[in-house]
Structure 1
Amino acid sequence: MAANRTGGQQSLALLNITSPNDPFCEYLDDTIEVQNSLYWKHKGSGTTNQMIAFYALVCSFGSLANLFVICCVLRLPHLRNLRNYFIVNLAVSDLLMCTVTAPATLYLTLNLFWPFGDFTCQLVACIQAVNTFVSCLTLVAIAMDRFLLMLFPTKWGFQPTMAPLGFYAVVWVLSLCVAAPYFFAVSAEDVSFWRWNHTEIERALLACERQKPQICVENSWSHLPFSRKTYTLTVLGFQYLMPLAALALSYCHIGTRIRRRLRTGAASRTLDTQRRQAMTNKNRKAFLLLTGLVFVYAVCWLPVNLYNTLNVLDFFHFSQYKYIYCHLVGMTSACLNPVLYGVLNENFRVAFATLIRPCRRCCRCPAADTTQSQFHSNYNYSYTTAANTRSPKNCGLTPMAPMDDAHANVTQRLCAAANGAIISPALPAPTRAAIAQEYEDDML
């Protein structure tokens, strides 16, 4: 076998290489393959398969969940507002994390060599950082938008389109600027271990039409005006500490307002018991959701940031095996964000029911048509009774939007149930503050 040749025999073989299929060329291929996966073969195939399975699960679920959020906004016009585009921006960055960042990190972990060239190495490293920063800063933008809406409901809630667009621009520009050093600090370098630098091996690679293996590494910090330690600590503050503080402060203020609202609602005598209980439950769920947002962010991004910081401060040597698990925990945020910001949002749940209704009809499953009526009941400010003249289709009410057959059927059932109802006084038209308050509730 070529692998058992002595150094002299190998040198002699170099002179006799006549084609890329020469046995010595196969020997080089075997050497590259063994060196490329030696680390994870040492850990065992079970560990490798386990890691691949975890990443596949996270990336698959995260991609589907974020695609669901994006499709809901793109397909349903009533969700196309500027503040829902914050959630779309978050979903896009998380989708890129699941489709670009996570697979690239997994590949770099399981393979020692990088066969895609220097520019691709730099570009992938930069994109990985940009995706992470955009995701984190978008969470901050959502929190700040809700905070300002809570403070100034009659002003911030009706801002022109430039205000949220300014948030988008700041998020992407800042992310690109902070991630730019990665592009210059990372490069694909030729390997220098074993005998890859020997003249005979270089001649053999040329005769075998092979290229010397390269590694994508961070070895170019000397060309930058700051050190790797300075940059890592800056990223810790920019990507973890600052967003965590912004989330905590914003949602603490909103949570304080919700708790005050809970006490006010419990003490109010003007509301009937059912409405008071419904308001209390809604505010309590909103408070728990806000607490969960801060907790999930803190837990997901703590391991990888803590590991990078301790490593750059020389508390221990870098271990790809330990880092990959820390990174996996951070990637779970791309799965949880669409759930917390999209799926748990009532408007998105109704949108999801609307999107899957054709599929359910094809399966002859009972459709959740009752959810459709929620789209048209936000600002219905007058009550009617059986004494009023009603058309058979809409009880004499003018619908706020064209009704499809399913909505018409629901309305007919509601009309039938309303027969004999007690006459309620007409409500006045809502004020600007009332509309802002309801919009604020929807944002929670």
Structure 2
Amino acid sequence: MVVCEFRQPQQYYLITKTKMAHNLLYYNISVLVSRQIVTGCCLGALILGTLLGNSLVCAAVGKFRHLRSKVTNFFVISLAVSDLLVALLVMPWKAVAEVAGFWPFGAFCSAWVACDIMCSTASILNLCVISVDRYWAIASPFRYERKMTRRVAFAMIGMAWTLALFISFVPVQLSWHKTSVVTWPNSSTDQHIWYRCDSSLNPLYAIASSLVSFYIPVVIMIVTYTHIYLIAQRQIRHISSLERAAENKETKVLKTLSIIMGVFVCCWLPFFVLNCMVPFCSSGAGLLCVSRTTFEVFVWFGWANSALNPIIYAFNADFRRAFISLLGLKSPLPMALFTCL
């Protein structure tokens, strides 16, 4: 009788423990699947939004002649093409890998890394070119009308794309961008390298590419937009006879420029800061490194800029009317939150 009393609680304990383990496993699987579904839906919505916005810009310029007649719109279409390529060549493959939990496309990784660097850099350089174009248009409007021809615009666009191509495919194809050993802080050691697709940048390439792709362009954009605001401020105060009206216009210009720079910096700055830090994490430099998940989140933050660019740069009155016509809308769209200078 004593033996039975001893075994019965033990068996009950083992059965209960097994059920708890099964329930915990089921819960973990359910949470993982739910997380993958939510991740897939969010990334899919971002990709579709990027495709739709930039496709509308390209279609509008292609269909309406008056949009093609303005030289400044060539810079906008170049930006839209670069952002469209981000949505076609970069985002979908990474989204599948994020949901699957591994890189399922094998040797395509190298080509994908090159496309990622090229398209992202081209998008940022196009933003820089747009800022320079707008500065010239406001600082010297008469000279701008004479000098800014289609040939000059195409030359500026060509330089941006050539530079993006040069710092992406050339180093990647020659393996100049890679580290000798693929490592990552907090990564599990049993993961095989071919199940992941990491850029694995060496410190020299990480810093050099970040300078060309972000830090130099963002400095140029800050300088040009600061000068644009100062010039616009002087012109508004000179033209406007009512002080309050002048203040309102200055505030509107400041808000527009703040949105342009704020969105760009918020999207890309965290990634490029980490992009320069991560290569030093495994070298004993004593830096405070981040997890892979944190890094990947900020990668998507950068790509999200491609979805926001059409809203910021192509929602002036001409483009809004073109979008209304393309979408077959009869009632006018509400005024956009952003106006182009």
Fold match, TM over 0.5?
Answer: yes
Q: 1:143, CA displacement in angstroms? A: 0.5
1:88 pairs with 56, 70, 77, which one? Answer: 77
Question: What residue number does 1:355 align with?
Answer: 326
Looking at structure 2, the residues matched to 321 and 183 of structure 1 have their Cα atoms a distance apart, in angstroms, of: 27
Structure 2: runs of 5+ lacking an equivalent = 1-27, 179-188, 282-286
* Sequence identity (%): 22
Letter paired with 1:250: T
Cα drift, residue 303 of structure 1: 1.8
Look up the match of 1:339: 311
Which residue matches 1:153? 141
Which digits, 9 at most, give the CA deviation of each residue in 1:283-340, with x for residues without a partner? 5433321221111111100121122222112125663322221112112211111000
1:328–1:305 distance in 2 versus 1, CA, 3 Å:
same
- Indicate the residue corresponding to 2:90 in structure 1: 101
- Show CA shifts across 1:373-399 (max 9, x none): xxxxxxxxxxxxxxxxxxxxxxxxxxx
Q: Is the 8 A contact 2:117 2:168 kept in 1?
A: yes
Q: Distance in 2 between matches of 1:309 and 1:125?
A: 17
CA-CA distance at 1:162 after TM superposition: 1.5
1:253 aligns with 2:223: no
Q: Is 1:297 aligned with 2:235?
A: no
Q: 1:319 to 1:167 in 2, by over 3 A?
A: same
Q: Is the 8 A contact 1:140 1:243 kept in 2?
A: yes
Q: Is the 8 A contact 2:39 2:99 kept in 1?
A: no
> Which sections of structure 1, spanning at least 5 residues, go unmatched?
1-39, 188-192, 197-212, 222-226, 361-366, 372-441
The DSSP-based 3-state class of the residue aligned with 1:154 is helix
Aligned counterpart in structure 1 of residue 253 of structure 2, from 276, 279, 286? 286
Q: Deviations over 1:115-138 (max 9, x none)?
A: 5442x2221111111110000000
Q: Give the match for residue 275 of structure 2.
A: 308
Q: Which amino acid aligns with 1:125?
A: V
Looking at structure 2, the residues matched to 110 and 184 of structure 1 have their Cα atoms a distance apart, in angstroms, of 30
Q: Which position in structure 2 is the counterpart of 1:165?
A: 154
Counterparts of 1:267 and 1:56, CA distance in 2: 50
Q: Is the 8 A contact 2:139 2:231 kept in 1?
A: no
Q: What TM-score does the superposition give when structure 2 sets the normalisation length?
A: 0.75
Change (3 A) 1:256 1:41: farther
User: Which letter maps to 1:297?
Assistant: F
Partners of 1:140 and 1:125 lie apart in 2 by: 23
- Separation in 1, partners of 2:101, 2:41: 20
SS of structure 2 residue aligned to 1:237: helix
**What is the distance in 2 between the residues matched to 1:330 and 1:218?**
16
Q: Of 48, 68, 71, which residue of structure 2 is paired with 1:60? A: 48
Task: Please say if residues 261 and 283 of structure 1, whose CA atoms lie closer than 8 Å, have aligned partners that are also in contact.
Answer: no
Distance 1:332 1:214, change over 3 A: closer
| Counterpart secondary structure, 1:155 | helix
Matches of 2:197 and 2:46, distance apart in 1:
26
Counterpart contact for 1:63–1:98, Cα < 8 Å: yes
Structure with greater helix share of residues: 2
Give a deviation string over 1:45-69, Cα, whole Å, max 9, x none: 3332332222112111111111111
How far apart, CA to CA, are the structure 1 residues paired with 2:51 and 2:145?
31
For normalisation by structure 1, the TM-score amounts to 0.59
Q: Secondary structure at the match of 2:142?
A: coil
Aligned partner of residue 332 in structure 1, secondary structure: helix
Contact 1:106 1:324 in 2 (8 A): no
1:57-97: CA deviations, max 9, x gaps? Answer: 21111111111111111111100032201111111111111
Q: In the superposition, relative to structure 1, how do residues 43 and 308 fare at CA in structure 2: closer, same or farther (>3 Å)?
A: farther
Q: Distance in 2 between matches of 1:214 and 1:312?
A: 19
Which has the higher Rg, Structure 1 or Structure 2? 1
- Tell me by how many angstroms 1:98 deviates: 1.8
Cα RMSD, aligned residues only: 3.3
Contact 1:258/1:287 (CA < 8 Å) preserved in 2? Answer: no
The residue type equivalent to 1:328 in the other structure is W
Q: Larger RCO: Structure 1 or Structure 2 (Cα < 8 Å, ≥ 6 residues apart)?
A: 2
Aligned counterpart in structure 1 of residue 165 of structure 2, from 150, 172, 176: 176
Q: Is the 8 A contact 2:278 2:289 kept in 1?
A: yes
Please state how far the C-alpha of 1:43 moved relative to its aligned partner. Answer: 7.9
